[in-house]
Amino acid sequence: MSPKKQKVVAFGECMIELRTAGHGLMRQSFAGDTLNTCIYLARLADGAYGVDYATAIGDGDPYSEGMLAAWTDEGIGNGLALRRQGELPGLYAISVDDTGERSFHYWRRDAAVRRYFDAPSTPLERQIGDIDLFYVSGISLAILPPAGRDRLLAAMAAVKAAGGRVVFDNNYRPKLWASAEEALEVYRRAYALADIALVTLGDEIEVLGGIGEADAIETICGYPCPEIVIKRGSAPVLLCLAGKERGEVAVEPVARVVDTTAAGDSFGAGYLAARLRGMAPTEAAATGSRLAATVIQHPGAIIPLAAMPKLF
Ligand code: ADP
């Protein structure tokens, strides 16, 4: 009998993306940090595991339907997606000025996903026992009201208690938090539950209140998480394992970076796809870096399927 396929679940927000396409035109797609990671994870699965995306969308509008179809096309399961009548997904626009500098504008305060946990019981919470790897980011926590945050943290604890692994990626968007202190308090709880922490150093420095890099690394390595992966752009990835063992994994610098969108999201997918195959953290960090290096040589968060590198 073949072993049971592992189940990977991410909770987060997928938004409608509008990108300037010249002369008053906008190109529309769908994106969001956790969804980007799910798409790359699904592309790298090759039968080793299945991926489901837990979120909330509207009920019957063309954008919610389009999102669902886009995930399904990428091989992501939608059994944990909740439909909320009369609501819509969030939206963001990327504008590009004359110098090529991009800026992001969000309409997400009313997004359906903010009320995912308004129901007394959700599809995610009902399937906790089936989850082998549960992926949550700082944005997943930031978009929820306090009661929803508590429910998501409780779901993380429940996955862990049931023998699954919890992954926390620290993606920090200050505008989504009342203050850095509020974020820090919630991040502390998330790190304490995480089996694997994927930490962007620059983001964590902001959460920690602008301390120096060396101090931030010491602080991060002291978090109560057995597998901490610190990403630092083109600088080597740092690993802090079991609270003591430290390691560095070199990153092959990319000479011509086109667009760094989803560098961290794709790194996370490569890292986790390798760990789900039983590879060691050092090999996993090299795998994550190889995928991220390809992604940043293409425009946008999601590269064409044909451009995916062969990683396994
Ligand atoms: P985030 O997107 O979360 O801000 P980083 O900028 O730290 O994350 O990048 C995540 C990963 O992407 C890095 O660990 C590295 O593997 C890869 N990466 C980012 N920038 C470069 C670069 N200039 N050259 C090569 N790899 C890069």
Residue 288 to residue 311: CA distance in whole angstroms: 9
If one compares 159 and 20, the residue with the highest pLDDT of the two is 159
**Lowest model confidence (mean pLDDT) among 16-25, 115-124, 266-275:** 16-25
Report, as an integer, the average pLDDT of 51-77.
Answer: 97
Predicted confidence at residue 3, as pLDDT, reads 65
Does any domain span residue 222?
yes
pLDDT tens-digit readout, 168-205: 999 999 999 999 999 999 999 999 999 999 999 999 99
Does any domain span residue 191?
yes
Domain total in the chain: 1
> Is the beta carbon of 292 within 6 A of some atom in ligand 1?
yes
For all residues of the chain together, what is the average pLDDT? 95
Residue 189 to residue 187: CA distance in whole angstroms: 5
Nearest CA to ligand 1 atom 20: 233
Full-model pTM? 0.96
Write the single-letter amino acid at 111. Answer: A
Sign of CA dihedral 167, 262, 257, 275: positive
Residue 196 to residue 51: CA distance in whole angstroms: 18
Which residues carry out catalysis?
265
Q: Residue 148: pLDDT band by 50, 70, 90 thresholds?
A: very high
CATH of the domain at 200: 3.40.1190.20
Does any domain span residue 112?
no
Contact (CB, 8 A) for 31 and 41: no
If one compares 60 and 163, the residue with the highest pLDDT of the two is 163
**Domain residues for 177?**
6-13+33-54+120-307
Whether pLDDT at 41 is above 90: yes
Residue of 167, 239, 257, 260 with the most ligand 1 atoms within 8 Å of its CB, for mutation:
260
Complex prediction ipTM: 0.98
